[in-house]
């Protein structure tokens, strides 16, 4: 079969097995299997593929059909236009989280150089790396309780040449991160439970998925004493947890919610703690 015929068949298979991005998934997996760029596929549509080339691709398509995330199958994922190594020890970087980074970067550019920022629950390090990349004079502290996740984050920090400005630290929330921070970002486990979630979500580490509002509430309690007087906190939340806005308003002078592209409350922004540590 030619390359284009293989893509059509793989796309149809993935559509039948519930993929919402079947053609894209098929292309990404074929490019990975053949060691090509995705763009190169379009230049080789009529290329015949031998059985030896098809065997590993069939395996990847079968695994994707069972719900394994493409990022785990190829070992990488793009986030904020940057590429990150991804393993089964971390969440797959999600486009929804880009809203959090965009809000933080916009705020940071208004504040100016010399910022000290924290990424709490860093996972792959995608938030910390993106902050340092788009705020080139900021210093970022990336914390997580998972040693394996921190290994992935460390790899991604080095991949982007940011070792001098992104510090990876094993920490339970803010426990071992510095005080006098200008800003805190967090994408903590906030889902209530596995019911109704697709297979590709459930394939990700449960300790990074499930926590309800518990950890975000803890962070809202701890953050005021670790932030500067005009400091800010950005936290990704589940739309079902929008009641956290009232908790934030009891700890900060200003608090608001930002909607994602689907119109759901996704990012909690809280600034100027009521009782910051002087």
The fold adopted by the segment(s) 77-273 is Rossmann fold (3.40.50)
Assess contact for 93 and 129: CB atoms under 8 A: no
pTM over 0.85: yes
Phi and psi at residue 143, in whole multiples of 5°? -115, 150
Domain ranges of the chain: 3-66, 77-273
Assess contact for 24 and 38: CB atoms under 8 A: no
Rg value, the chain, Cα: 21
CATH architecture of the region 3-66: Orthogonal Bundle (1.10)
Per-residue pLDDT of the chain (278 residues; tens, 9 = 90+): 999 999 999 999 999 999 989 999 999 999 999 999 999 999 999 999 999 999 999 999 999 999 999 999 999 999 999 999 999 999 999 999 999 999 999 999 999 999 999 999 999 999 999 999 999 999 999 999 999 999 999 999 999 999 999 999 999 999 999 999 999 999 999 999 999 999 999 999 999 999 999 999 999 999 999 999 999 999 999 999 989 999 999 999 999 999 999 999 999 999 999 865 54
Q: d(Cα 153, Cα 256) in Å, to the nearest integer?
A: 29
Q: In what order do the strands lie in the sheet with 116-120?
A: 166-170, 139-144, 116-120, 181-186, 227-236, 265-273, 252-259
Closest to 93 measured CA to CA, from 145, 130, 68, 67: 130
Two tokens, residue 95:
């486009």
265 has which bridge partners? Answer: 259
Q: d(Cα 60, Cα 14) in Å, to the nearest integer?
A: 11
Assess contact for 34 and 48: CB atoms under 8 A: no
The b/e string for 184-217 (b: 16+ C-beta within 10 A; e otherwise) is bbbbbbbbeeeeeeeebbebbbeebbebebebbe
Q: What pLDDT does 278 receive?
A: 44
């Amino acid at each position: 079969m030619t390359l284009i015929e293989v893509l059509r068949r793989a796309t149809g298979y993935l559509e039948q097995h519930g993929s919402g991005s079947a053609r894209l998934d098929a292309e990404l997996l074929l490019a990975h299997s053949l060691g090509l760029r995705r763009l190169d596929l379009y230049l080789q549509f009529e290329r015949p593929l031998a059985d030896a080339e098809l065997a590993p691709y069939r395996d990847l398509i079968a695994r994707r059909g069972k719900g394994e995330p493409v990022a785990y199958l190829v070992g990488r994922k793009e986030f904020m236009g940057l590429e990150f190594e991804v393993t089964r020890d971390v969440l797959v970087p999600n486009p929804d989280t880009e809203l959090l980074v965009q809000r933080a970067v916009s705020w940071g550019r208004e504040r100016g150089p010399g910022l000290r920022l924290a990424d709490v629950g860093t996972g792959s390090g995608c938030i910390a790396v993106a902050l340092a990349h788009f705020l080139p004079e900021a210093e970022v502290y990336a914390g997580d309780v998972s040693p394996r996740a921190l290994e992935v984050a460390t790899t991604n920090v080095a991949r982007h040449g940011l070792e001098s400005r992104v510090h990876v630290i094993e920490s339970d929330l803010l426990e071992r991160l510095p005080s006098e921070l200008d800003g805190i970002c967090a994408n903590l486990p906030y889902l209530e439970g596995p019911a109704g979630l697709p297979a590709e979500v459930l394939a990700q580490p449960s300790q990074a998925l499930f926590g309800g509002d518990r950890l975000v509430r803890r962070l809202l309690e701890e953050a005021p004493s670790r932030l500067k007087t005009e400091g800010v906190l950005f936290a990704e939340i589940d739309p079902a947890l929008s009641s956290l806005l009232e908790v934030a308003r009891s700890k900060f002078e200003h608090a608001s919610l930002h909607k994602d592209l689907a119109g759901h409350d996704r990012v909690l922004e809280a600034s100027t703690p009521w009782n910051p540590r002087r």
